Structure 1
């Protein structure tokens, strides 16, 4: 159940291999007024520091036992 206001969505559960590259590609393409929804099977805590360092804010929500949504936007 993706957030209705997200401009971009990436479900990394469908990514074959390491998802960091595709996540960074989406972040690089994110316009200042857009929101990016990241869907993962766990809360991606290691990513949060990277987001903060790159000037993004985020809100993480557990949707199901193995589904987390992280809404990401520019600060």
Structure 2
């Protein structure tokens, strides 16, 4: 799957997480995701999620991290 497809998949995931968790008014899931993907994330060994997406199973790793963040289960 191409990087843009992965980002589209993650955007849908973030939109769904927000729908389950809180107020959606004024929140742009894609804009938030774009910023998050390019920032350093300690839970990824201080790597950027965008870099992890280029690795084998990277989409699953990033999806799992987002879902754990939603539930509060950082591991």
TM-score by shorter chain over 0.5 = no
Q: Identify the structure with bigger relative contact order (alpha carbons < 8 Å, sequence gap 6+).
A: 1
Q: How high is the TM-score relative to the length of structure 1?
A: 0.24
Instruction: Identify the structure with the greater strand proportion.
Output: 1
Query: Larger C-alpha radius of gyration, 1 or 2?
Result: 2
Instruction: Identify the structure with the greater helix proportion.
Output: 2
Q: How high is the TM-score relative to the length of structure 2?
A: 0.24
